[in-house]
Amino acid sequence: MYITGIGRTKFGVFDTSLPELIYEAMYKALNDSPIGITDVDAVIFANFLAGPNQGQLHLNSLIASLLPRTNLPIIRVEAACASGGIAVNQAFSMPKKFENILIVGAEKLNDHTTKTIARNLAMAGDALRDQKEGLIFPAQYAILADQYLRKYDASHDDLMLVSLKNHRNATLNPLAHFYHKDVDLEAINSSPMVCSPLNLFDCCPISDGAAAIVVSMIKKGDRDVKIIGSTVKTDAISLSQRTDLTTFKAAILAAKDAYKTANVGPKDIDIAEVHDCFTIAEIIAMEDLGFCNKGEGVKLIRDDETSLSGRLPINTDGGLIGDGHPVGASGIAQICEIVEQLRGGAGQRQVPDAKIGLAHNIGGAGGTAVVHILEGSK
């Protein structure tokens, strides 16, 4: 399956409505592809919170309204923050009779107070147990960070380096939520505590935005990027049901299967987008994906190996921390960035000679993991 077009909105805090965001991303992706809307055979849509936030479900039919008289098969999928990755995986799973599929993800979070947003985002966690214990997202990841820092030779100083790198990358990405935000270690270090040991700069922002790609079963041009691996795995939703809180088993299993399908290994990956909803998540991701041994993720950061000029650049677009995290869009925006890089069109943040890229998208605190591996045409 080939990615023949990509498009996304800027991420940030906007007055734009959800349908407008969706429309803009779809329009841009189709414009970027040789495939026109009349050649599209199906649409997959990813969104997490439009029900609680906008009072709007039945989102596949909402998209039908934006594509009048096409009456296409349109499927909406939801897997919390992994909704976007799941959507791309579903397209990868669709039967060959759908030659061209439009995949779009969108989220409009900034319609409410921070308290309401935090409560709604917590719907990604177990309602009967974790939510009742007050485990909103920063609290869940703070537990993971605390466990990690106790178990391995690591400190909050290492986590700060993840935030610094991703914020710096975002200043090279005009569509990023924090494009205009200059950040240094002093600012990161002195930012308010959110949930110990995580402070404000350990957390991704609450963003609105949309991203879309067009995929085709047949290669359409020289700049097309091939999806060579795509796997979804799950794990129990409640942290109370996990045995190790310093790793995501679903991510390890998804990566293993995706590498196998793609017939590549961690050493073959030139660039990666990993799910850094919190700084600790990027460290865990590097280990789960096999980029280093368990407990050694912090070394990659300290040695600058994952910066734009490093051996394995990670989150070149700024990641969720710098680029933003409009939930349903994030997994698809990761793919957009990998495609930009493999095409050689990433401008100031271009990594030279990238051939194979990996995208790692997580739902909740590891309850869902989606791994995609992409190969450029060059």
**Range in contact with a copy of itself (rule: CB under 8 A) among 2-10, 67-75, 141-149, 190-198:** 67-75
Q: Is 192 in the site for a copy of itself (CB under 8 A)?
A: no
Among 4, 9, 33, 54, binds a copy of itself (CB under 8 A): 54
290 binds a copy of itself (CB under 8 A): no
146 burial level (CB within 10 Å; 0-12, 13-18, 19+): middle
Least Cβ distance, residue 207 to a copy of itself (angstroms): 18
- Give the interface segment with a copy of itself, choosing from 21-29, 229-237, 290-298, 316-324 (CB under 8 A): 229-237
| Peptide bond just before 197 cis, omega within 30 deg | yes
3-state secondary structure string across the chain = CEEEEEEECCCECCCCCHHHHHHHHHHHHHHHCCCCHHHCCEEEEECCCHHHHHCCCCHHHHHHHHCCCCCCCEEEECECECHHHHHHHHHHHCCCCCCEEEEEEEECCCCCCHHHHHHHHHHHCCCCCCCCCCCCHHHHHHHHHHHHHHHCCCCHHHHHHHHHHHHHHHCCCCCCCCCCCCCCHHHHHCCCEEECCEEHHHECCCCEEEEEEEEECCCCCCCCEEEEEEEEEECCCCHHHCCCCCCCHHHHHHHHHHHHHHCCCHHHCCEEECCCCEHHHHHHHHHHCCCCCCCCHHHHHHCCCCCCCCCCCECCCCHHHHCCCCHHHHHHHHHHHHHHHHHCCCHHHCCCCCCEEEEEEEECCCCEEEEEEEECCC
Structure-token pair, residue 363: 């739902």
Least separation in angstroms between CB 252 and a copy of itself: 9
Q: By CB under 8 A, is residue 37 in contact with a copy of itself?
A: no
Interface mask (CB under 8 A) for a copy of itself, residues 120-149, using x and -? Answer: x-xxxxxxx--x------------------
236 lies in the site for a copy of itself, by CB under 8 A: yes
Count the residues of the shown chain that bind a copy of itself, applying the rule CB under 8 A. 61
Whether the Cβ atoms of residue 82 and residue 362 lie closer than 8 Å to each other: yes
Residue positions annotated with a catalytic role: 81, 325
Closer residue to a copy of itself, CB minimum distance, 116 or 190: 116
Among 16, 34, 64, 264, binds a copy of itself (CB under 8 A): 64
Using CB under 8 A as the binding rule, whether residue 256 contacts a copy of itself is answered as no
Window of 21-29, 32-40, 92-100, 294-302 that interacts with a copy of itself by CB under 8 A: 92-100
52 is a site residue for a copy of itself (CB under 8 A): yes
CB of 63 to a copy of itself, least distance (A): 8
Q: Which CB, 235 or 340, lies closer to a copy of itself? A: 235
- Using the contact rule CB under 8 A, the part of the chain among 2-10, 119-127, 271-279, 316-324 near a copy of itself is 119-127
Q: CB-wise, 170 or 237, nearer to a copy of itself? A: 237
- Using CB under 8 A as the binding rule, whether residue 79 contacts a copy of itself is answered as yes
94 binds a copy of itself (CB under 8 A): yes
Choosing from 3, 26, 40, 75, the residue that interacts with a copy of itself (CB under 8 A) is: 75
Q: How many residues does the chain have?
A: 378
Q: Quick one: 95 or 352, whose CB is closer to a copy of itself?
A: 95
Rounded to whole angstroms, how far apart are CA atoms 323 and 43? Answer: 25
Residues that bind a copy of itself (CB under 8 A): 17, 19, 48-49, 51-52, 54-65, 68, 71-80, 86, 89-90, 93-95, 119-120, 122-128, 131, 231-238, 241, 249-250, 253, 363-364, 367-368
